[in-house]
Copies of this chain bind each other. A is one copy, B any other.
Amino acid sequence: MTVDINLDKNSYKIYINELENLEFDGSVGVVTNQTVGALWLADLLGRIKAKSVTLIAIPDGEAYKNLDTLNLILEQLFNAKLDRKSTLIALGGGVVSDITGFAASIYQRGIDFINIPTTLLSMVDASVGGKTGINNKFGKNLIGSFYQPKAVYCHTKYLKTLPNREFSAGVAEAIKMAVMFDGKFFEFFKKSDLKAKDDVIYLIEKCVKIKADIVNQDEKESGIRAVLNYGHTFAHVIENQTNYSKFLHGEAVAIGINMANNLAQKLGLLSKDESKQVREVLEKFSLPVSYKIKDTKNFYEHFKLDKKSLNSKIKFILPNGIGNFKIKDDVKEELVIQTLKEFI
- A309: interface (CB < 8 Å): yes
Chain B residues with CB under 8 Å of A22's CB are: none
Q: List 16 A-B contacts (CB under 8 A).
A: A25-B311, A26-B310, A27-B311, A67-B67, A75-B138, A78-B138, A81-B305, A81-B312, A102-B106, A106-B106, A106-B143, A107-B142, A108-B144, A109-B131, A109-B141, A145-B145
Cα A5 to Cα B138 with chains together (Å): 36
Give Cα distance in the complex from A144 to B308, angstroms: 25
Within 8 A of B (CB), among A63-93: 67, 71, 74-75, 78, 81, 83-85
Q: Give the residues from 95 to 152 in chain A that come closer than 8 angstroms, CB to CB, to chain B.
A: 102, 105-110, 131-133, 136, 138, 141-146
A131 to B109, CA, bound (A): 8
Do the beta carbons of B305 and A78 come within 8 Å of each other?
A: yes
Contacts of A13 in B (CB 8 A): none
Interface hub of A84, A85, A141, A221 (most chain B Cβ within 10 A): A84
**Docked CA distance A133–B108 (Å):** 9
* Chain A contact patch, size range: 35 or more
Q: Chain B: which residue is nearest A132 at the CB level?
A: B109
CB of A49 within 8 Å of the partner chain: no
A145 touches B109 (CB 8 A): yes
Q: A83-B311, A136-B78, A310-B85 are in contact. Are A144 and B106 (CB under 8 A)?
A: yes
Contact B106 A145 (CB under 8 A): yes
Residue of B nearest to A139 (CB): B78
> Is A266 in contact with chain B by the CB < 8 A criterion?
no
17 additional contacts, CB 8 Å, given A74-B136, A83-B311?
Answer: A26-B311, A51-B311, A75-B136, A78-B136, A78-B305, A81-B312, A83-B310, A83-B312, A84-B307, A85-B310, A85-B311, A102-B106, A108-B142, A109-B141, A109-B307, A110-B146, A110-B220
Nearest Cβ in chain B — how far from A223, in angstroms?
13
A67 neighbours in B (Cβ, 8 Å): 67, 71
Residues of B within 8 A of A307 (CB): 83-84, 108-109
Which residues in B have their C-beta under 8 angstroms from that of A81?
304-305, 312
Name the distance in Å between A255's Cβ and chain B's nearest Cβ: 24
Nearest Cβ on chain B to A51's Cβ, whole angstroms:
7
Q: What's the nearest-Cβ distance from chain B to residue A336, in Å?
A: 19
Contact with B along A18-43 (1 / 0, CB 8 A): 00000001110000000000000000
Binary CB contact string for chain A from 285 to 314 against chain B (1 if under 8 A, 0 otherwise): 000000000000000000011011111100
Least distance between A237 CB and chain B CB atoms (Å): 15
